[in-house]
Amino acid sequence: MKQAEPSAPSLESANPDPGSAAHANPTVPIISPHFCSPNPVVIEIVRKVLTITGDKFVVTDVNGNMIFKVKEAYFSFHDHRVLLDAAGHPIITLRRKFNTAHERWQVFRGDSKDSRDLIFSAKRSSMFQLKAKLDVFLAQNITENVPDFKVKGNWSERSCVVHAGDSSTMLAQMHKKHTVTPLSFGKDNFTVTVYSGTDYAFIVALIAIFCEVNTPRAGAQASGD
């Protein structure tokens, strides 16, 4: 299994909204502590609706410096994405689990698909829901009685919030960045505020899954989890 030694890029700090719910304080190194900042940071994500190169997402800092890319693998039996660092090294692999009613995705270290390298999984909170919601379970949460994290959002507005479990503690917020430039055609532009101590590679992975789960695609899901 190939795996990059992650290095943390310099990201611009953000000022949390003092009127919003509580923000995360302890470090949450889900992917790596290298991706946890002691201060809130802002990242920007461009999601390409149509892509020839396979670059589904490009993640930059506010100055346009690339941090990550999310590529889709063509001609693969398993529908999966790979989160790469700026040098092109795989950090994690996101794999859609087939035959699941709740659209489950599993996330592994590096380019692995071995269950021993499973980090977390995410699925729709319910089969039928008016709001876009994901339940997120760390690999060690075998029973999955209570999610470790939740993603709640409004897909029509391209916005979401990541919470720690069922609490009101926010780890990150995403909003659509409105742009009228000709180059924005066929793309979604997001601004993401990641609060202090939160693993921003983990947040990017959750947003990628949130987008995939809420994007209509051919094929119906069978029963199961």
- Per-residue pLDDT tens digits for 7-52: 555 566 555 454 445 555 567 789 999 999 999 999 999 987 655 4
| Interval 55-88: pLDDT, tens | 679 999 999 999 999 988 655 545 789 999 999 9
Mean pLDDT of 147-169: 91
Residue 69 counted as domain residue: yes
Confidence of residue 219 (pLDDT cuts 50, 70, 90): very low
Q: If phi over 0 gives left and psi between -120 and 50 gives alpha, with beta otherwise, what is residue 167?
A: beta
What is the b/e burial string over 149-172, where b = at least 16 CB atoms within 10 angstroms of the residue's CB? bbbebeeeebebbbbbeeeebbbb
The number of C-alpha atoms within 13 Å of 107 and in the hemisphere containing its C-beta is 26
Residue 28 counted as domain residue: no
Q: Is 155 helix (H, G, I), strand (E, B) or coil?
A: helix
pLDDT at 223: 39
Give the CATH number, domain containing residue 71.
2.40.160.200
Confidence of residue 168 (pLDDT cuts 50, 70, 90): confident
Residue 6 counted as domain residue: no
Residue whose tokens read 């290095």:
7
Q: Is 136 helix (H, G, I), strand (E, B) or coil?
A: strand
Residue 184 counted as domain residue: yes
Residue 30 counted as domain residue: no
Residue 71 counted as domain residue: yes
Residue 141 counted as domain residue: yes
Per the structure, the count of domains in the chain is: 1
Residue 105 counted as domain residue: yes
The residue range of the domain holding 81 is 38-214
Cβ contacts of 27 within 8 Å, gap of 6 or more: 33, 36, 197
Distance CA 61, CA 45 (A): 9
